[in-house]
Structure 1
Amino acid sequence: MKEVKIETVFQVYKTISETPEDIQKLMIRAVEARQKAYAPYSKFHVGVALLLDNNEVVSGSNQENASYPSGLCAERTAIYYAGAQYPKARILKMAITAASQLKTTSEPIPPCGACRQAIAEYELRQKSPIEIYFMGEKGKVVKSESLSNLLPLIFDSSQL
């Protein structure tokens, strides 16, 4: 038997105002997207903004459905739109913010597992990492240099 240790490294900013200016602007776009979320069931609103290498900013919000599996998370809404509208553009940075109508979310909230897998596919496809910044409604902002920090053992097409 061999033991394998996997470590991840994140940068944590105390507030959004500590992040670089371009990230502050991207997070503001994510907050604007979050305000457009359709979440009547969970009351949990998520917004995402992506910076592409063509300088376009694409945003998305979660969209729920009474048939729960039919809804879509904000991260996948944004990356699929970016892939459809700008198929040759690389995603450089992703800003994510989440807020609940039921309580204040002051801890950083990372992407769910399904979104991590979708982001991994785009990182592999574009052969470059995506910087991911995530936060709650307020408070700390966490930066991951790549999706591989959030999902170190990915499933990809090489395994099919």
Structure 2
Amino acid sequence: MKKIVTETTFLRYDSLDELPEASKNLMKHAIQARKTAYAPYSRFRVGAAVILDDGTIVIGTNQENAAYPSGLCAERVALYAAASAYPGKIISAIAISAASDKGDTHEPIPPCGSCRQSIIEYEQRDGRPISILFMGEDGAVILSQSTKNLLPLSFDKNFL
């Protein structure tokens, strides 16, 4: 038997104001997007914003549907919209903000497993890490320099 050890490092900013200007701007786009999420069932609203290597920002919101699980997370909406509208462009970062109509969300809320897998697919495609910023409706922001921090033993095309 052999032990496998992984190590991850995240940066925690106590507030949006502590972020570098470019990251703060991207997160503000995610926050604005969150406000237009279609979440009539869960009342859990998520906004995401991706920035491409040329500076283009593409937003996404979670989209729910009464026929679960037909909805889609904000992160994947933003990723797929960016990949569709700007084929071949490299995704540099994604910012995510989540809030609940049922109560306060002050702790950073990371992407779900399906979104992590989708983000890492673009990292692998482009051969570059994608920075991930995530927060609740306010408060602290977590920065991961790569999806590999969130999904260290990832599934990829090499297994197919």
TM-score (norm 1): 0.99
For 1:158 and 1:56, how far apart are their aligned partners in 2? 30
The aligned residue for residue 86 of structure 2 is 86
The aligned residue for residue 68 of structure 1 is 68
Question: Counterparts of 1:89-128 in structure 2 under 5 Å?
Answer: 89-128=89-128
For 2:25 and 2:133, how far apart are their aligned partners in 1? 12
Question: Counterparts of 1:21-32 in structure 2 under 5 Å?
Answer: 21-32=21-32
Unaligned runs of 5+ in 2: none
Report the residue type matching 2:16 in the other structure.
Answer: I
Unaligned runs of 5+ in 1: none
Query: Per-residue CA shift, 1:89-133, capped at 9, x if unaligned?
Result: 101111100000001000000000000000011000011000100
The aligned residue for residue 159 of structure 2 is 159
For 1:10 and 1:108, how far apart are their aligned partners in 2? 12
Large movers: runs of 4+ above 4 Å: none
Q: Does 1:52 align with 2:66?
A: no
For 2:10 and 2:54, how far apart are their aligned partners in 1? 26
| Aligned sequence identity (%) | 55
Say how many residue pairs are matched. 160
CA RMSD of aligned residues (A): 0.5
Question: Counterparts of 1:6-45 in structure 2 under 5 Å?
Answer: 6-45=6-45
For 1:113 and 1:93, how far apart are their aligned partners in 2? 17
For 1:61 and 1:143, how far apart are their aligned partners in 2? 20
TM-score (norm 2): 0.99
Q: CA deviation at 1:51?
A: 0.8
For 1:16 and 1:55, how far apart are their aligned partners in 2? 20
